[in-house]
Protein backbone atom coordinates (compact mmCIF):
# COMPACT_ATOMS: atom_id res chain seq x y z
CA UNK A 1 0.00 0.00 0.00
CA UNK A 2 1.42 3.33 -1.06
CA UNK A 3 1.51 5.97 1.64
CA UNK A 4 -0.30 9.26 1.06
CA UNK A 5 2.10 12.17 0.68
CA UNK A 6 0.80 15.70 0.97
CA UNK A 7 4.04 17.02 -0.49
CA UNK A 8 5.80 15.03 -3.27
CA UNK A 9 9.48 14.20 -2.79
CA UNK A 10 10.50 16.24 -5.83
CA UNK A 11 8.76 19.44 -4.70
CA UNK A 12 10.82 22.48 -5.61
CA UNK A 13 8.94 25.68 -4.75
CA UNK A 14 10.93 28.88 -5.15
CA UNK A 15 10.01 30.49 -1.81
CA UNK A 16 12.83 33.00 -1.96
CA UNK A 17 11.60 34.44 -5.25
CA UNK A 18 8.97 36.52 -3.45
CA UNK A 19 10.96 37.18 -0.26
CA UNK A 20 11.14 40.95 -0.88
CA UNK A 21 7.40 41.15 -1.54
CA UNK A 22 6.75 39.13 1.62
CA UNK A 23 9.06 41.44 3.57
CA UNK A 24 7.21 44.54 2.38
CA UNK A 25 3.85 42.95 3.18
CA UNK A 26 5.02 41.93 6.66
CA UNK A 27 6.36 45.43 7.40
CA UNK A 28 3.08 47.04 6.32
CA UNK A 29 0.90 44.65 8.31
CA UNK A 30 3.12 44.94 11.39
CA UNK A 31 3.03 48.74 11.22
CA UNK A 32 -0.75 48.68 10.80
CA UNK A 33 -1.08 46.33 13.80
CA UNK A 34 1.01 48.55 16.04
CA UNK A 35 -0.93 51.60 14.86
CA UNK A 36 -4.22 49.88 15.75
CA UNK A 37 -2.92 49.10 19.23
CA UNK A 38 -1.81 52.72 19.68
CA UNK A 39 -5.06 54.24 18.35
CA UNK A 40 -7.80 51.84 19.45
CA UNK A 41 -6.04 50.20 22.36
CA UNK A 42 -6.80 46.77 23.78
CA UNK A 43 -9.99 45.67 25.51
CA UNK A 44 -8.35 44.68 28.78
CA UNK A 45 -10.21 42.36 31.11
CA UNK A 46 -10.66 42.51 34.85
CA UNK A 47 -7.23 40.90 35.31
CA UNK A 48 -5.59 44.05 33.97
CA UNK A 49 -7.96 46.90 34.81
CA UNK A 50 -9.19 45.78 38.21
CA UNK A 51 -12.74 45.06 39.36
CA UNK A 52 -14.81 42.86 41.67
CA UNK A 53 -14.61 39.08 42.03
CA UNK A 54 -17.62 37.17 43.39
CA UNK A 55 -17.50 33.43 44.10
CA UNK A 56 -20.84 31.59 44.03
CA UNK A 57 -21.93 28.03 44.82
CA UNK A 58 -25.29 26.82 43.45
CA UNK A 59 -27.51 24.11 44.88
CA UNK A 60 -27.83 22.47 41.45
CA UNK A 61 -25.51 22.45 38.42
CA UNK A 62 -25.92 25.59 36.32
CA UNK A 63 -25.01 26.10 32.67
CA UNK A 64 -22.27 28.70 32.27
CA UNK A 65 -23.92 30.26 29.20
CA UNK A 66 -27.22 30.65 31.06
CA UNK A 67 -25.42 32.28 33.98
CA UNK A 68 -23.47 34.58 31.68
CA UNK A 69 -26.61 35.75 29.86
CA UNK A 70 -28.35 36.57 33.15
CA UNK A 71 -25.37 38.55 34.45
CA UNK A 72 -24.98 40.46 31.18
CA UNK A 73 -28.71 41.33 31.26
CA UNK A 74 -27.98 43.40 34.38
CA UNK A 75 -25.89 45.81 32.27
CA UNK A 76 -22.92 45.71 34.62
CA UNK A 77 -20.29 45.54 31.90
CA UNK A 78 -18.55 42.58 30.29
CA UNK A 79 -18.22 39.99 33.01
CA UNK A 80 -15.75 37.12 33.00
CA UNK A 81 -17.16 33.86 34.42
CA UNK A 82 -15.01 30.87 35.30
CA UNK A 83 -16.31 27.41 36.22
CA UNK A 84 -14.60 25.25 38.85
CA UNK A 85 -15.25 21.76 37.55
CA UNK A 86 -18.52 20.55 39.08
CA UNK A 87 -20.96 22.94 37.37
CA UNK A 88 -22.01 24.35 40.74
CA UNK A 89 -19.13 26.64 41.69
CA UNK A 90 -18.36 29.73 39.62
CA UNK A 91 -16.22 32.81 39.91
CA UNK A 92 -17.72 35.99 38.45
CA UNK A 93 -15.37 38.85 37.66
CA UNK A 94 -16.99 42.24 37.18
CA UNK A 95 -15.17 45.21 35.60
CA UNK A 96 -14.31 48.18 37.77
CA UNK A 97 -16.73 51.05 37.06
CA UNK A 98 -15.62 54.63 36.81
CA UNK A 99 -16.49 56.61 39.91
CA UNK A 100 -16.43 56.08 43.68
CA UNK A 101 -16.04 52.73 45.42
CA UNK A 102 -19.72 52.86 46.40
CA UNK A 103 -20.66 52.41 42.75
CA UNK A 104 -18.64 49.18 42.57
CA UNK A 105 -20.35 47.94 45.72
CA UNK A 106 -23.77 48.75 44.21
CA UNK A 107 -22.97 46.66 41.12
CA UNK A 108 -21.90 43.74 43.30
CA UNK A 109 -25.13 43.99 45.33
CA UNK A 110 -27.09 44.03 42.06
CA UNK A 111 -25.48 40.79 40.91
CA UNK A 112 -25.91 39.18 44.32
CA UNK A 113 -29.61 40.10 44.37
CA UNK A 114 -30.18 38.60 40.92
CA UNK A 115 -28.44 35.36 41.87
CA UNK A 116 -30.40 34.94 45.09
CA UNK A 117 -33.68 35.71 43.32
CA UNK A 118 -33.24 33.46 40.28
CA UNK A 119 -31.21 30.60 41.79
CA UNK A 120 -32.78 29.37 45.06
CA UNK A 121 -30.26 27.92 47.49
CA UNK A 122 -27.28 29.75 45.98
CA UNK A 123 -24.44 30.79 48.26
CA UNK A 124 -22.78 34.07 47.29
CA UNK A 125 -19.45 34.81 48.92
CA UNK A 126 -18.13 38.23 49.79
CA UNK A 127 -16.87 40.29 46.87
CA UNK A 128 -13.11 40.59 46.57
CA UNK A 129 -11.70 43.69 44.91
CA UNK A 130 -8.95 43.43 42.31
CA UNK A 131 -7.26 46.78 42.70
CA UNK A 132 -5.74 48.81 39.94
CA UNK A 133 -2.30 48.27 41.47
CA UNK A 134 -2.64 44.48 41.33
CA UNK A 135 -3.96 44.61 37.78
CA UNK A 136 -1.04 46.83 36.74
CA UNK A 137 1.36 44.28 38.22
CA UNK A 138 -0.37 41.49 36.28
CA UNK A 139 -0.05 43.47 33.05
CA UNK A 140 3.64 44.15 33.67
CA UNK A 141 4.31 40.52 34.63
CA UNK A 142 2.51 39.27 31.52
CA UNK A 143 4.49 41.58 29.26
CA UNK A 144 7.70 40.64 31.06
CA UNK A 145 6.96 36.92 30.61
CA UNK A 146 6.47 37.31 26.85
CA UNK A 147 9.56 39.51 26.48
CA UNK A 148 11.81 37.19 28.48
CA UNK A 149 10.53 34.18 26.54
CA UNK A 150 11.44 35.87 23.25
CA UNK A 151 14.87 36.97 24.48
CA UNK A 152 15.60 33.53 25.93
CA UNK A 153 14.71 31.95 22.60
CA UNK A 154 16.98 34.33 20.69
CA UNK A 155 19.92 33.71 23.06
CA UNK A 156 19.48 29.94 22.84
CA UNK A 157 19.43 29.98 19.04
CA UNK A 158 22.41 32.36 18.99
CA UNK A 159 24.53 29.83 20.88
CA UNK A 160 22.99 26.82 19.13
CA UNK A 161 23.55 28.16 15.62
CA UNK A 162 25.01 31.60 14.76
CA UNK A 163 24.09 35.12 15.86
CA UNK A 164 22.23 35.75 12.59
CA UNK A 165 19.89 32.88 13.42
CA UNK A 166 19.20 34.38 16.84
CA UNK A 167 18.33 37.74 15.28
CA UNK A 168 16.10 35.99 12.75
CA UNK A 169 14.21 34.12 15.49
CA UNK A 170 13.73 37.30 17.55
CA UNK A 171 12.43 39.28 14.56
CA UNK A 172 10.10 36.41 13.67
CA UNK A 173 8.64 36.21 17.18
CA UNK A 174 8.25 39.99 17.37
CA UNK A 175 6.39 39.93 14.04
CA UNK A 176 4.02 37.19 15.28
CA UNK A 177 3.23 38.90 18.59
CA UNK A 178 2.66 42.29 16.89
CA UNK A 179 0.15 40.83 14.42
CA UNK A 180 -1.85 39.09 17.14
CA UNK A 181 -1.94 42.31 19.17
CA UNK A 182 -3.25 44.08 16.08
CA UNK A 183 -5.97 41.44 15.72
CA UNK A 184 -7.16 42.00 19.29
CA UNK A 185 -7.06 45.77 18.83
CA UNK A 186 -9.14 45.45 15.65
CA UNK A 187 -11.74 43.02 17.01
CA UNK A 188 -11.72 44.39 20.60
CA UNK A 189 -11.90 40.88 22.01
CA UNK A 190 -11.19 40.89 25.72
CA UNK A 191 -7.56 40.45 26.71
CA UNK A 192 -7.07 38.61 30.00
CA UNK A 193 -4.54 36.20 31.50
CA UNK A 194 -5.79 33.46 29.17
CA UNK A 195 -4.67 35.55 26.21
CA UNK A 196 -1.23 35.98 27.77
CA UNK A 197 -1.05 32.17 27.91
CA UNK A 198 -2.06 32.10 24.24
CA UNK A 199 0.78 34.49 23.36
CA UNK A 200 3.27 32.22 25.12
CA UNK A 201 1.85 29.20 23.29
CA UNK A 202 2.24 31.00 19.96
CA UNK A 203 5.83 31.95 20.83
CA UNK A 204 6.54 28.30 21.61
CA UNK A 205 4.99 27.03 18.39
CA UNK A 206 6.66 29.62 16.20
CA UNK A 207 9.98 28.83 17.88
CA UNK A 208 9.56 25.12 17.26
CA UNK A 209 8.80 25.63 13.57
CA UNK A 210 11.69 28.06 13.17
CA UNK A 211 14.21 25.79 14.89
CA UNK A 212 13.23 22.82 12.69
CA UNK A 213 13.86 24.89 9.56
CA UNK A 214 17.07 26.41 10.95
CA UNK A 215 18.40 22.97 11.84
CA UNK A 216 17.82 21.73 8.28
CA UNK A 217 19.47 24.88 6.90
CA UNK A 218 22.51 24.28 9.07
CA UNK A 219 22.73 20.65 7.98
CA UNK A 220 22.54 21.62 4.32
CA UNK A 221 25.15 24.35 4.78
CA UNK A 222 27.58 21.71 5.98
CA UNK A 223 26.56 19.29 3.23
CA UNK A 224 26.47 21.72 0.28
CA UNK A 225 29.24 24.20 1.10
CA UNK A 226 29.46 25.64 -2.40
CA UNK A 227 25.71 26.08 -2.93
CA UNK A 228 24.35 29.61 -3.18
CA UNK A 229 22.53 30.76 -0.04
CA UNK A 230 19.20 31.44 -1.75
CA UNK A 231 19.23 28.05 -3.46
CA UNK A 232 20.15 26.34 -0.20
CA UNK A 233 17.32 28.04 1.69
CA UNK A 234 14.83 26.94 -0.95
CA UNK A 235 16.12 23.38 -0.67
CA UNK A 236 15.80 23.40 3.12
CA UNK A 237 12.29 24.87 3.08
CA UNK A 238 11.10 22.31 0.54
CA UNK A 239 12.61 19.46 2.55
CA UNK A 240 10.74 20.56 5.70
CA UNK A 241 7.54 21.58 3.88
CA UNK A 242 5.78 18.25 4.45
CA UNK A 243 6.42 18.41 8.18
CA UNK A 244 5.29 22.04 8.31
CA UNK A 245 2.01 21.36 6.48
CA UNK A 246 1.13 18.28 8.52
CA UNK A 247 1.93 19.90 11.88
CA UNK A 248 0.32 23.27 11.20
CA UNK A 249 -2.65 21.77 9.36
CA UNK A 250 -3.54 19.33 12.13
CA UNK A 251 -3.25 22.03 14.81
CA UNK A 252 -5.33 24.56 12.88
CA UNK A 253 -7.99 21.94 12.06
CA UNK A 254 -8.45 21.09 15.73
CA UNK A 255 -8.48 24.76 16.73
CA UNK A 256 -10.99 25.65 13.99
CA UNK A 257 -13.43 23.03 15.31
CA UNK A 258 -12.90 24.30 18.85
CA UNK A 259 -13.44 27.88 17.67
CA UNK A 260 -16.76 26.99 16.01
CA UNK A 261 -18.14 24.53 18.55
CA UNK A 262 -16.32 25.42 21.77
CA UNK A 263 -17.72 27.57 24.61
CA UNK A 264 -17.56 31.34 24.43
CA UNK A 265 -15.30 31.53 27.47
CA UNK A 266 -12.33 30.18 25.45
CA UNK A 267 -13.17 31.89 22.16
CA UNK A 268 -10.45 34.53 22.51
CA UNK A 269 -7.86 31.97 23.61
CA UNK A 270 -8.67 29.68 20.67
CA UNK A 271 -8.74 32.54 18.16
CA UNK A 272 -5.34 33.79 19.34
CA UNK A 273 -3.67 30.38 19.06
CA UNK A 274 -5.32 29.64 15.70
CA UNK A 275 -4.22 32.95 14.23
CA UNK A 276 -0.79 32.59 15.84
CA UNK A 277 -0.32 29.14 14.29
CA UNK A 278 -1.11 30.49 10.82
CA UNK A 279 1.13 33.54 11.27
CA UNK A 280 3.90 31.43 12.80
CA UNK A 281 3.86 29.08 9.81
CA UNK A 282 4.06 32.02 7.41
CA UNK A 283 6.81 33.80 9.32
CA UNK A 284 8.97 30.70 9.70
CA UNK A 285 9.11 30.49 5.89
CA UNK A 286 9.06 34.11 4.76
CA UNK A 287 10.81 35.89 7.66
CA UNK A 288 13.09 33.56 9.60
CA UNK A 289 14.64 32.08 6.44
CA UNK A 290 14.96 35.17 4.17
CA UNK A 291 16.45 37.24 6.99
CA UNK A 292 19.52 35.00 6.80
CA UNK A 293 20.08 36.29 3.26
CA UNK A 294 19.76 39.91 4.37
CA UNK A 295 22.20 39.27 7.25
CA UNK A 296 24.74 37.69 4.90
CA UNK A 297 24.80 34.11 6.21
CA UNK A 298 26.94 31.81 4.04
CA UNK A 299 28.04 28.20 4.19
CA UNK A 300 31.62 29.43 4.61
CA UNK A 301 30.88 30.45 8.22
CA UNK A 302 30.20 26.83 9.13
CA UNK A 303 33.22 25.70 7.15
CA UNK A 304 35.48 28.04 9.15
CA UNK A 305 34.07 26.79 12.44
CA UNK A 306 34.74 23.18 11.49
CA UNK A 307 38.25 24.02 10.28
CA UNK A 308 39.05 25.60 13.65
CA UNK A 309 37.78 22.48 15.41
CA UNK A 310 39.93 20.29 13.17
CA UNK A 311 43.09 22.20 14.10
CA UNK A 312 42.79 21.14 17.74
CA UNK A 313 42.51 17.46 16.79
CA UNK A 314 45.63 15.30 16.68
CA UNK A 315 46.57 13.15 13.71
CA UNK A 316 45.43 9.93 15.44
CA UNK A 317 41.97 11.38 16.10
CA UNK A 318 42.48 12.32 19.75
CA UNK A 319 41.45 15.79 20.80
CA UNK A 320 44.31 17.84 22.23
The pLDDT tens digits for 15-56 are 888 888 988 999 999 999 999 999 988 887 766 776 777 888
For residues 198 and 203, what is the distance between their CA atoms, to the nearest angstrom? Answer: 9
Looking at 137-295, which runs of residues are DSSP E strands?
Answer: 190-191
- Quickly count: other Cβ atoms within 10 Å of residue 40's Cβ: 14
Q: Return the top range by mean pLDDT from 197-206, 252-261, 264-273.
A: 252-261
Integer Cα distance of 74 and 92 in angstroms: 13
Identify the H or E element spanning 56: strand 51-57
Pairwise CA distance, residues 177 & 171, whole Å: 10
CB 115 within 8 A of CB 124: yes
Instruction: Convert the pLDDT of each residue in 210-239 to its tens digit.
Output: 888 888 888 888 888 778 888 888 888 888
Q: Report how far residue 118's alpha carbon sits from residue 113's, in angstroms, rounded to the nearest whole number.
A: 9
pTM, 2 dp = 0.71
Candidates 245, 277, 241; CA nearest to 258 is 277
Residue 256: pLDDT band by 50, 70, 90 thresholds?
Answer: very high
10 Å Cβ neighbour count for 202? 24
Q: What is the dihedral of CA 169, 40, 135, 108, to 10 degrees?
A: -140
Arithmetic mean of pLDDT, 109-137: 74
Amino acid sequence: MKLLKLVPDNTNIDFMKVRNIALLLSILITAASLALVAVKGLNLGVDFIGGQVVRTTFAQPVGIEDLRSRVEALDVGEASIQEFGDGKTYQIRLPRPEGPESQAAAITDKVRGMLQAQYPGVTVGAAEAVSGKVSDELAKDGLLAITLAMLGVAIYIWFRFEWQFGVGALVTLGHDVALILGFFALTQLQVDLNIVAAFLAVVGYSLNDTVVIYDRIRENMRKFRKMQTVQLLNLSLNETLSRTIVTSGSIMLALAVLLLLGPDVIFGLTAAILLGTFIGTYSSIYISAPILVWLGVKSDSFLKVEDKAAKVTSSDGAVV
